[in-house]
Amino acid sequence: MRHRGFAGTTETIVPRGSSSRLQRLCACPAGWVVQYAAEMFIGAQMPAYRVVNDPGIRLIMSDLACCALEVGSTVTQNLIEAETAAHEPARINVVLISGTVTKALAPVVEQQWSAIPEPKVAIAVGACASSGGPYWDAETVVNGITELIPTSGFIAGCPPRPDVIIDGVRSLVGSL
C-alpha cells in the first residue's frame, strides 16, 4: 500500500512514524462536543456515501471532531450523496477519519476500521487525524491514525475545505 498526502491534492504534510508524546490536555471545546456525540453513536451506525462524480468510490465516515463538519459539507455542496440500493457495487471503500483522535476513541476507530470490508483504504482528514494537529502534545490525543491503522492518505488543513477533501479522495483512489 502506498502512502500519500495532500495539501490541496498533492503535498505530504505528515511525517510518518512521528513518536512525539502528548503532554497537555485537548482544549478544543467543539472537539469535545463532537467527540462526545461520536462516543455515543460511533459503531452503532456507519452511513455510507458515494462520490457524485465517481460513484464507484464508497465513503464511510468516522466523524470525530470539527473536521467532520467539513466532511458533512461535501453533502450540501453535492460532492457526495447518500448511498442507495440503486448504486452499483462499490469498487473501493474509503474510510474518512476526520477530527481529533483521543486515546479514549482509539479502540473504536480500530474496531470501525476492522469492520469495513476489503478493498478499503483509510484517509486522515485534517491535521488532527493526520498528526494530532494543534493537540499533538496532549496526553489524551493520538499522534495521528497511523498509530492505529494502515493509512493511505493525508488531507491537509485545519480544517480542509470540502472540495479539497473530495479531490484528495479521488486523487488517492486514482493512484492505486
Question: Which residues bind to ligand SF4, rule: CB under 6 A?
Answer: 28, 31, 65-67, 99-100, 126-128, 133-134, 158-159
Cβ of residue 132: shortest distance to ligand SF4, in angstroms? 9
Q: 1 with 163: CB under 8 angstroms?
A: no
CA-nearest of 73, 22, 16, 21 to 49 is 73
Cβ of residue 126: shortest distance to ligand SF4, in angstroms? 4
Q: 12 with 155: CB under 8 angstroms?
A: no
Nearer to ligand SF4, 65 or 166 (CB): 65
160 vs 165: CA distance, rounded Å: 7
Pairing assessment for the beta strands 120-125 and 92-98 based on DSSP bridges: parallel
Cβ of residue 66: shortest distance to ligand SF4, in angstroms? 3
Tell me if residue 50 falls in helix, strand or coil: strand
Nearer to ligand SF4, 5 or 133 (CB): 133
Nearer to ligand SF4, 54 or 163 (CB): 163
Tell me phi and psi for residue 70, to 5 degrees.
-70, -40
Cβ of residue 96: shortest distance to ligand SF4, in angstroms? 12
Nearer to ligand SF4, 33 or 115 (CB): 33
